Structure 1
Amino acid sequence: MTTHHHPTDASVAPFVPATYPHEVTWSLPHHPRSAGNARAQLREHTHIWHVGDEVTTTAQLLLSELVTNACRHARPLPHGRVTVRCALSPTGTLRVEVTDGYPVELARPRHPSPTDISGRGLALVASLANAWGSQLLPDTTGKIVWFELAAPPGPPPARQDARKP
């Protein structure tokens, strides 16, 4: 398993699957428009989990990059989709993973020229995430690209008063 980490946080260990109290997985069509659906679902769950708005906004941006990359540059999983997994650890780390069906090459930032119109997504992920990486699935059906953000709890969501007219 090869893992890439943010250069300032090389001590972060690769993810070991665990069940957290706040964990959700969903699949999306292998289509560029899926990034918008992924952002909306992530916002819904981070709101429920009391993750602050700033962390949520950053997570949405990075998730959008990973889903777009999976849909543009990778094959879908055998069921024709990509999978997103989000987990909030008890220690306040938000981990987001995108799994695609391209087991040939791990995700690596490109070095685009100033005139290139694309190729900056993983550099953005590396810059904003506390840690990030990619690893091949053990069954060789694809790869996971992930990032982690520190997610101190935000204020609880406002309660809706059911008695309002």
Structure 2
Amino acid sequence: MRPPAVMYWPATDTAASHARAWMRNLLGDVDGIDIEDVALVTSELVTNAHEHSTAGQSPDGKVRLTATCGPKRLRVEVTDEGGKKIPAPRCPDADDLGGRGLVIVDALADDWGHCPDPETGGRTVWFEMVRREGPGPDDLPRGERTPEPSGPCYLG
């Protein structure tokens, strides 16, 4: 197992793009994981940290990203300074510009949840993706990808 990788960013509107690039670079040689799905889910959680936590409202606000890649699964944690809302998927109207982030997380991650962060007093939202044996979804031609079932677990 690789040791956990940790990175911090200011909780600004550019944090999500930095997080996507960091995850792609970190996981570039890892088999059994759809790196683009990981980058997208990570981006959604970092965006939520920026938009919905007190970190995004403060000029000194930070987001911590931790990734642990084991032999069977990848776990990614996004920790912010907390906020008033409990993370939960919403059902946005068709013409809403936002509100789909956790719906995407729920669809792509094998598991996800949230919990208080004892180090910062903030909140950690995490997701896990199981490492699949054989060719990953990125190795298959478009149209031959099989969606995996997901089952969320919400921690409080």
1:62 pairs, out of 30, 41, 50, with 41
Letter in 1 for 2:26: H
Are 1:80 and 2:80 an aligned pair?
no
Aligned residues: 133
Per the alignment, in what secondary structure is the counterpart of residue 82 of structure 1?
Answer: strand
Instruction: Calculate the aligned-residue CA RMSD, in Å.
Output: 2.3
The alpha-carbon distance between structure 1 residues 39 and 139, as it changes in their structure 2 partners (threshold 3 A), is closer
Letter in 2 for 1:84: L
Counterparts of 1:153 and 1:100, CA distance in 2: 33
Shift of 1:114: 1.5
Deviations 1:1-32 (A, max 9, x none): xxxxxxxxxxxxxxxxxxx4242011011101
Identical aligned residues as a percent: 36
Counterparts of 1:114 and 1:57, CA distance in 2: 25
Counterparts of 1:73 and 1:104, CA distance in 2: 8
Are 1:133 and 2:113 an aligned pair?
yes
Deviations 1:36-93 (A, max 9, x none): 1111111111114x235x6111000000000001001112299621000001113x20
Shift of 1:105: 3.5
Q: Which has the higher contact order (CA 8 A, sep 6+)?
A: 1
In structure 2, runs of 5+ residues without a counterpart are 136-156
Are 1:145 and 2:125 an aligned pair?
yes
